[in-house]
């Protein structure tokens, strides 16, 4: 297990999440509320929001992995707390679904890639998380669902338009409107999952993906991900290219890593990257 060099500011100290460093420049985030299937109450959502912001600001990290303890990845929002927040005398803006941090990963744009290591049951907001992750590795017994329609609510945390772009209108409609569960193998066939592995190999596989990313230029990782995300979020291809060139690529060209990468190639040696300035 690697350690994180001294940082400023220091990492958050959450209670719902466990933070560890399984490889250089890799953060492993473990949701740790197994008795409640790693569902997220308001406190947990604020914790996760803080961790994502810290990840993007931390120069010694390039990629994160998120997983869960126990038999669930995450059952999504804490519906018991949500029910309590629906008190008819309460301000509607104070309800759980309206909280500023309600969608800490499912609508995250961010700078750095996140890999989901899906260890088991993944429902509602948990499924919305993985829809917005950059890569997804799933255990063989994992399964996914958007059962919100069965509970009188809607998966409004960003998954619906993103599902259309990933798996198409008809599959997204089947998934979200029926509320049925989808197996890991079916999600793989749909293109929602990159790889399905035995549960005992899940974290190892996710760390291998993360390491394959983290050995690259920190600037280039951020810029390349931004280009992919603009292509996903922005309708016009050329507009997406232009945005990335004007923002991330313009900053990349001002940094030391582009010079190091080209020099190392010419000198036939491994590059020595600096922390990203993007």
More confident residue, 272 or 91: 272
Instruction: Kindly report, residue by residue over 12-47, the tens digit of the pLDDT.
Output: 777 889 999 999 999 999 999 999 999 888 888 888
| Whether residue 35 is found in the same domain as residue 135 | yes
Of 172, 194, 214, which closes a domain?
Answer: 214
Identify whether 149 is part of a domain. yes
| Whether residue 205 is found in the same domain as residue 227 | no
Identify whether 11 is part of a domain. no
Confidence of residue 84 (pLDDT cuts 50, 70, 90): low
Identify whether 51 is part of a domain. yes
| Whether residue 114 is found in the same domain as residue 79 | yes
| Whether residue 263 is found in the same domain as residue 181 | no
Instruction: Kindly report, residue by residue over 143-166, the tens digit of the pLDDT.
Output: 999 999 998 989 888 999 999 999
| Whether residue 209 is found in the same domain as residue 244 | no
| Whether residue 164 is found in the same domain as residue 254 | no
Identify whether 276 is part of a domain. no
Residue 253 predicted with pLDDT over 60: yes
| Whether residue 242 is found in the same domain as residue 158 | no
Give pLDDT, residue 43.
Answer: 81
- The DSSP string of the chain is -B-PPP-SSPPP--SSEEEEEEETTEEEEEE--GGGTT-B-HHHHHHHHHHHHHHHH-TT--EEEEEESTTEEE--B-HHHHHHTT-TTS-GGGSGGGSTTS-TTTT---SS-EEEEE-SEEETHHHHHHHHSSEEEEETT-EEE-GGGGGT---TTTHHHHHHHHH-HHHHHHHHHH---EEHHHHHHHTS-SEEE-GGGHHHHHHHHHHHHHTS-HHHHHHHHHHHHHHHH-S-HHHHHHHHIIIIIHHHTTSHHHHHHHHHHHHTS---PPPP--
| Whether residue 99 is found in the same domain as residue 116 | yes
| Whether residue 164 is found in the same domain as residue 71 | yes
Identify whether 89 is part of a domain. yes
| Whether residue 176 is found in the same domain as residue 251 | no
| Whether residue 231 is found in the same domain as residue 136 | no
Catalytic sites, residue numbers = 77, 125, 128, 148
Domain region containing 24 = 17-214
Instruction: Kindly report, residue by residue over 106-123, the tens digit of the pLDDT.
Output: 888 999 999 999 999 999
Identify whether 5 is part of a domain. no
Identify whether 109 is part of a domain. yes
Domain count, the chain: 2
Domain harbouring 53, CATH code = 3.90.226.10
| Whether residue 115 is found in the same domain as residue 196 | yes
Of 214, 235, 259, which closes a domain?
Answer: 214
Identify whether 12 is part of a domain. no
């Amino acid at each position: 297990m690697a350690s994180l060099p001294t940082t400023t500011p220091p990492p958050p100290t959450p209670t719902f999440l466990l933070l560890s460093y399984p490889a250089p420049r890799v953060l492993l985030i473990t949701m740790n509320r197994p008795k409640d299937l790693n569902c997220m109450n308001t406190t947990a959502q604020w914790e996760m929001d803080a961790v994502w912001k810290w990840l993007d600001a931390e120069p010694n990290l390039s990629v994160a992995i998120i997983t869960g303890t126990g038999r669930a990845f995450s059952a999504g929002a804490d519906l018991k707390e949500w029910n309590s927040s629906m008190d008819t005398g309460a301000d509607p803006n104070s309800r759980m679904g309206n909280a500023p941090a309600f969608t800490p990963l499912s609508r995250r744009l961010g700078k750095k890639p996140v890999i989901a290591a899906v260890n088991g049951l993944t429902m509602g907001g948990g499924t919305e998380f993985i829809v917005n992750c950059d890569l997804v590795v799933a255990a063989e017994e994992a399964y996914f669902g958007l059962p919100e329609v069965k509970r009188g609510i809607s998966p409004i945390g960003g998954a619906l338009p993103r599902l259309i772009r990933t798996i198409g209108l008809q599959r997204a409609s089947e998934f979200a409107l029926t509320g049925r569960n989808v197996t890991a193998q079916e999600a793989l066939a749909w293109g929602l999952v990159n790889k399905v592995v035995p549960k005992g190999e899940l974290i190892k596989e996710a760390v291998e993906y993360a390491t394959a990313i983290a050995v690259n230029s920190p600037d280039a990782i951020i810029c390349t991900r931004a280009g992919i995300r603009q292509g996903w979020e922005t309708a016009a291809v050329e507009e997406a290219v232009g945005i990335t060139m004007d923002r991330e690529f313009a900053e990349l060209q001002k940094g030391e890593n582009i010079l190091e990468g080209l020099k190392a190639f010419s000198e036939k040696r491994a590059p020595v990257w600096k922390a990203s300035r993007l």
